[in-house]
Amino acid sequence: MDISLKLGILLIATLLTGLSAGLCFTWTNAVTIGIGKLDNLGYLHAFQQMNRTIINPTFILVFFGPFILQAISLFLWKDSTSTITTLLGSIILLYFFGLVLVTIFGNVPLNEILDKTNLAEASVNDLQNLRNQFEIKWNRLHFIRTLTSILSFGLLLITLIKVLQHKF
C-alpha cells in the first residue's frame, strides 16, 4: 500500500480525533460551567436545546469518524513496528470505550430523559429533581469523554511522530 494513503488516513484520523477532543474540552471548560450558573429552568432548557441541535451530519462525522479511521489505520499499519500498532490499538480502545460507549450508554440516556420532559409544565420541584438527576452524572460522564478523547489525540500525535521517524 502506498505510504501516502496510509499516512493520509492517519492524519485525517488525528484531525477528527482532535476536533472531537476540542469539542469535549470546550463543553467541559466553558459550556457546562456557563450553563451551570443558570437557574433550573434555564439550565435544563439550554441543555435540551443544545442536545437537539448538536445531532447533525458534522457532529456525526467528528464523533464516529475518528473511531472508524483509527480502526482503518490500525489495519493499514499492522505490519509496522510494535510501538505503532500498540499505540494505535490503545487509541482505539481509549476512544471507543471512553467516548463512544460512555456517550451511547451514559450521556445519551440522560439526554433522552431530559428531552422527553415538558419543561414548561414541570413544577419547581420537578425541575430541581430533574437537574439533580441529570447534571452531576452527565458532567462526570462527560469528563471521562473529555479525558479519553484528549489522551487519544495525544497518542495519535505521538504515533504520527513515530511513523515519520520510522519512514524518514
| String of DSSP letters for 11-39 | HHHHHHHHHHHHHHHHIIIIIHHHHHTS-
Cα 74 from Cα 80, distance rounded (Å): 9
The backbone torsions φ and ψ at residue 34, rounded to the nearest 5 degrees and listed phi first, read -65, -50
What pLDDT score does 6 carry? 93
What pLDDT score does 9 carry? 97
Average pLDDT per run of 10 along the chain, which is 168 residues long? Answer: 84 98 97 96 97 94 97 95 96 97 97 96 96 97 98 98 83
